[in-house]
Every structure is written in structure tokens, then in C-alpha cells.
Structure 1
């Protein structure tokens, strides 16, 4: 049961990272102006716009998404641990930056942004613990 949960979690995280990375890489200005969508513009709250930085962020998300999908497909404990540790390093550093620099975000957008970033740390950490317990 836990093995399926871990594989499903890896795949879900992979799809999420790819869904952010592809538009950031292919349409960086659109991503900057519109992410996460539905009338919210969290990335634009950190001006000025920089094509290079947004495209690099997209490449990072795509890389993590591909690695997460490979870990889900391979279902190997060591691969899973390495990939989740990598995601945790990126996500923790990303969260730490946004905890100290809110850009122009305030109110509910700030809370939602920080909550989403915190989930980006909690979910891979939880999957790592579940995978270790399943294999032990």
C-alpha cells in the first residue's frame, strides 16, 4: 500500500513540476505575469521581469519533474531517496527565500504562496519517510 502511495506521490509531484516548468521555459513572460493563474500573479510580485531567470527556473522545474517521474517508474529505493532529497534541497531553499522576502505579496496571496511552498517541502519529506518505512 505504501509503495503505491509513494509511486503515486512521486508521479503527482512530477506532473506538478512539469506543469510549472514547461510554460516557464516556453513562455517565460506569460509565466511571470500569470503564475499560478486564476487572477493571481505570484511571480510578478518579484519584479523586474528577467527572461533568463524565469527560463532557468522552468528548466529546474522540468529537471525535477523528469527525475520524479523516473523515480516513480523505476520504483527503486535508492533512486527514490536521491530524487526526493534533491527536491527537498531545492524546495527548502526556495521556501527559505520566500519566508524572508515577500516581494510585493500580501494577505491571502502571501499566505497561499508560503503554504504552497511549505507543501513543497512537506510532501517529498513525507514520501521519503513512507518509502523508508515500506522498505524497512
Structure 2
């Protein structure tokens, strides 16, 4: 059951990262103006727009998404650990920045964005612990 949970978590994280990365890479201005969607614009709260930086962010998310899906497919302990550690480093640094700098976000949007970023640390950390325990 733990193996299924870890693999499912890897797939979920992989799909999420790809759903952010591909649009940011292919349509950086649209991504900047609309992320995360549903009438919210968290990325636009950190102006000015820079196509290069948004495209680089998209490439990072896309790369992490591909690596997460490969880890799920391969189901190898070492690959899973390396990929999840990489995601944790990125997500922790990303969260640290946003804890210091809120841009123009306030209220519910600020709380929701920080909560989402915290989940970006908690979920891969939990999957890493679960994967280590099941194989120990």
C-alpha cells in the first residue's frame, strides 16, 4: 500500500509541476498574468514581468515534473530519493523567498499562496519518509 501511495504522490506532483511548467515555458506572459487562475494572479503580484525569468521557472517546473514522473515509473528507491530531495531543495528555497517577500499579495491570496508553497515542501518530504520506511 505504501508503494502505491508513494508512486501516486510522485505522479500527482509530476502532473502538477508539468501543469505549471509547460504553460510558463510556452506562454510566459499569460502564465505571469493569470497564475494560479480562477481570478487570482499570484505571480503578477511580483512585478515587473520578465519573459526570461518566467520561462526559466517554467523550464524548472517542467524538469521537476518529468523527473517526478520518471521516479514513479521506475519505482527505484535511489531515484525516488534523489528526485524528491531535488524537489525539496527547490520548494524550500521557493517557500523561503515568499515568506520574506509577499509582493503585493495580502489577505486570503497571501495565506493561500503560502499554504500552497508549504504543501510543496510537506508533500515531497512525507513521500520521502514513507518511501524510506517501506524499504527499510
- The aligned runs of 1:4-83 (5 Å cut-off) are 4-83=4-83
Per-residue deviation, residues 25-81 of structure 1 (Å, max 9, x unmatched):
000000000000000000000000000000000000000000000000000000000
Q: CA deviation at 1:93?
A: 0.1
**1:104 Cα shift?**
0.3
Runs of 4+ with >4 A deviation? none
- How many residues of Structure 1 are paired with residues of Structure 2 in the alignment? 136
Q: TM-score, normalised by structure 2?
A: 1.00
Normalising by structure 1, we get a TM-score of 1.00
SS of the equivalent of 1:49 reads coil
SS in structure 1 of the partner of residue 99 of structure 2: helix
Corresponding position: 1:132 with 2:125: no
Q: Which runs of 5+ in 1 are unaligned?
A: none
Classify the secondary structure of the residue corresponding to 2:49: coil
